[in-house]
């Protein structure tokens, strides 16, 4: 009897396939997204890295990331790239980028608050390195709405 009741109590996970995906990033209406690194090289210095994007309001985002080394290293670095796309696009386009490098430490982080154009999905892509070890991470696409404080057409008085 227990055998026959198992299918009725099994949870069905939400499927990402129901949402559009662009270059590995799900296009979402979520307020924020965090991406964790995928190792490109095998090494001993790089422990982890992540990228993060948060929609702060209409036409405003927080973007950044962190790189963590397994110990104090000579050089630890993060390159942060902000990309944008609209639903139906076949590729992300460049929006902004910056990088930060620290020496003789075990981590580096960098973030910015950016004024952006509404009506787009934005994602953050980071490259993480500790000495010669390298990895990358990226977030899902977060939709940023347009600022509607000033309507396009003002009513006649």
The tens digit of pLDDT for each residue in 79-91 reads: 999 999 998 999 9
What is d(CA 84, CA 28) in angstroms, rounded to the nearest whole number? 13
CATH 3.30.1150 for domain 22-144, yes or no, is: no
pLDDT tens profile 34-78 = 999 977 666 899 999 999 999 999 999 999 999 999 999 999 999
For the chain, which residues make up each domain, given as ranges? 22-144
Give the three-class secondary structure for 22: strand
The count of C-alpha atoms lying within 13 angstroms of the C-alpha of 150, restricted to the half-sphere facing its C-beta, is: 0
112: phi > 0 → left, psi -120 to 50 → alpha, else beta; which?
Answer: beta
Model confidence pLDDT, tens digit, residues 125-141: 999 999 999 999 999 99
- Identify whether the C-beta of residue 126 lies closer than 8 Å to the C-beta of residue 78: yes
């Amino acid at each position: 009897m227990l055998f026959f009741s198992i299918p009725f109590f099994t949870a069905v996970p939400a499927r990402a396939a129901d949402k559009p995906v662009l270059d590995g990033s799900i296009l979402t209406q979520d307020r924020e997204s965090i991406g964790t690194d995928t190792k490109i090289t095998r090494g001993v210095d790089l422990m982890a890295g992540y990228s993060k994007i948060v929609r702060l309001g209409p036409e405003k985002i927080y973007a950044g990331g962190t790189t963590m080394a397994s110990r104090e290293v000579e050089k630890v670095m993060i390159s942060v790239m902000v990309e944008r796309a609209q639903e139906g696009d076949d590729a992300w386009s460049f929006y902004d980028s910056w990088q930060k490098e620290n020496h003789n430490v075990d981590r580096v982080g960098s973030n910015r608050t950016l004024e952006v154009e509404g009506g787009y999905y934005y994602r953050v892509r980071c490259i993480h390195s500790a000495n010669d070890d390298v990895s990358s991470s990226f977030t899902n696409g977060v939709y940023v709405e347009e600022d509607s404080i000033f309507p396009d057409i003002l009513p006649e008085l």
